[in-house]
Amino acid sequence: MSPEFSLGWEVFEIIWINLLLSGDNAILIALACRQLPVRQRRWGVFLGALGGVILRIAFTLVVVELMAIPYLKIVGAILLLIVAVKLLIDEAEHSDVKAKPNLWSAVGAIIMADAVMSLDNVIAIAAAAHGSTNLIVFGLLVSVPIVMFGAGALLKVLERFPALVWAGAGLLGWVAGDMAGADPALPTFVHVTNHGALELGLSIAGCVLVLAVAFAIAIYRQWREDQRVSRD
């Protein structure tokens, strides 16, 4: 794989993952600002999103440093696999953020809620960036205006084309496998002769695992619903 293609793929991963996991963040911005006057609402959206992304960049850089500790990448990979499955099987849950009466209270509510809700984004972006500060900052800065101004359209597209959500969840599984394969503790209990092949194999396994588990859960839920309907 050429360096140019590898860089482009990592940028794509960061932007797509951030967009996919930022639906609730965009909704909380709208909820917090909905009672503000139109001019203040625009400033609330901008300042709240800006504060949120600065906080997220700081969190992500901290997580990147922590990932050098043995076994933490494996733990992060497991968390990402759970996030990916939940993305497919959970109903959308909107954050309970009340409308705020003034600009600065709305901005504060957005930043605080974004900090609480962004753990999945932070872990996924840290994994996709492979420790590159420039990629983390670039990917987040590019995706933020899309989330701010195109969140409604993005959510409608994802609702109309659910295959995009499945593809995004599969990408999260791929990133999780790649993260596990890069853990510094891995060579202590797995004899590795071709590390690149191991990371590729774990990436494929993570992608397949997410899709298979989510599909099995969906089938089981449909079977239970059919059983309930038949009893009624």
**Averaging pLDDT over each range in 5-14, 22-31, 142-151, which range is the top one?**
5-14
Cα(142)–Cα(126) distance, rounded to whole angstroms?
16
When pLDDT is averaged across residues 14-21 and rounded to a whole number, the result is 74
Task: Give the residue-averaged pLDDT of 184-189.
Answer: 74
Handedness of CA 202, 78, 97, 137 (dihedral sign): negative
Q: What is the pLDDT of residue 16?
A: 77
pLDDT of residue 193: 66
Mean pLDDT of 214-225: 88
- Look at the alpha carbons of 50, 160, 203, 120 in this order and tell me if their dihedral is positive or negative: positive
Domain holding 135, by residue range, is 3-230
The answer to whether 44 and 103 have CB atoms below 8 angstroms apart is yes
Q: What is the pLDDT of residue 147?
A: 63
Domain count, the chain: 1
Mean pLDDT computed over 73-84: 87
State phi, psi for 200 to the nearest 5 degrees: -65, -45
3-state secondary structure of 17: helix
pLDDT class for 23, splitting at 50, 70, 90? low
Separation CA 97–CA 34 (nearest Å): 11
Which residue did the predictor score with more confidence, 32 or 221? Answer: 221
Query: pLDDT grade, residue 130 (50/70/90)?
Result: confident
Q: Which among 108, 92, 146, 125 has a CA at the least distance from the CA of 32?
A: 108
Q: Please, what is the angle between helix 162-181 and helix 72-89, to 10°?
A: 170
Instruction: For the beta carbon of residue 162, count every other beta carbon within 10 angstroms.
Output: 10
Q: How far apart are CA 209 and CA 211, in angstroms?
A: 6
User: In this predicted model, which residue has the larger pLDDT, 19 or 64?
Assistant: 64
- Residue 205: pLDDT band (50, 70, 90) is very high
CA angle 67, 92, 122 (to 5 degrees): 15
- Look up the pTM and report it: 0.72
Among 114-128, 166-180, 214-228, name the one with the lowest average pLDDT: 114-128
For the segment 182-189, the average pLDDT, to the nearest whole number, is 76
